[in-house]
């Protein structure tokens, strides 16, 4: 499955419209989204906050599978921010898997 943003999202769409479109079609991480819309990964987190509100206004939901510590398996279920945590509160390791986003 190719992730070519130009073929998927026509010219003239805003970054948020492009991200919204991608997330309606498939699950993606912030890193995946940053590649297809050609913006830094930290910027994706800023857009996701607004996309969640836009999705709700359209009767949809921005589903977020939580961050997970790859060392001990701790799930960051209560985390509301879209940015990656620095370390796990349980084992203090910094090896944390990115969440997956999807609009349903």
Quick one: DSSP state of residue 100? Answer: E
Average pLDDT for residues 69-97, to the nearest whole number? Answer: 90
Q: What local confidence, expressed as pLDDT, does residue 6 receive?
A: 45
Instruction: Look up the CATH number of the domain holding residue 45.
Output: 1.10.10
Q: In terms of pLDDT, which residue wins out, 58 or 3?
A: 58
Q: Compute how many other C-beta atoms are within 10 angstroms of the C-beta atom of residue 92.
A: 11
DSSP states of 51-89 as a string?
A: HHHHHHHTT--EEEEPPEETTT--B-TT---SSPPSS-T
Q: Is the pLDDT of residue 10 over 70?
A: no
Q: Is the pLDDT of residue 97 over 50?
A: yes
Tell me the residue range of the domain where 84 lies.
Answer: 5-103
Could you tell me how many helices (H) and strands (E) the chain has, helices first? 4, 4
- CA dihedral sign, ordered 26, 32, 36, 40: positive
Q: Give percent above pLDDT 70 in the chain.
A: 89
pLDDT tens track for 21-51:
999 999 999 999 999 999 998 899 899 989 9
* Run of H or E including 102: strand 100-103
Looking at the 3D structure of the chain, how many domains does it have?
A: 1
């Amino acid at each position: 499955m190719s992730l070519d943003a130009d073929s998927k999202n026509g010219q003239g769409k805003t970054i948020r419209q492009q991200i919204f479109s991608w997330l309606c079609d498939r699950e993606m991480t912030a890193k995946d989204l940053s590649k297809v819309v050609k913006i830094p990964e930290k910027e994706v987190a800023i857009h996701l906050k607004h996309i969640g509100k836009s999705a709700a206004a359209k009767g949809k939901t921005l589903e977020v599978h939580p961050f997970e510590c790859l060392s001990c398996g701790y799930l960051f279920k209560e985390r509301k921010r879209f940015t990656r945590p620095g370390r796990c509160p349980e084992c203090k390791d910094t090896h944390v898997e990115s969440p997956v986003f999807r609009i349903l």
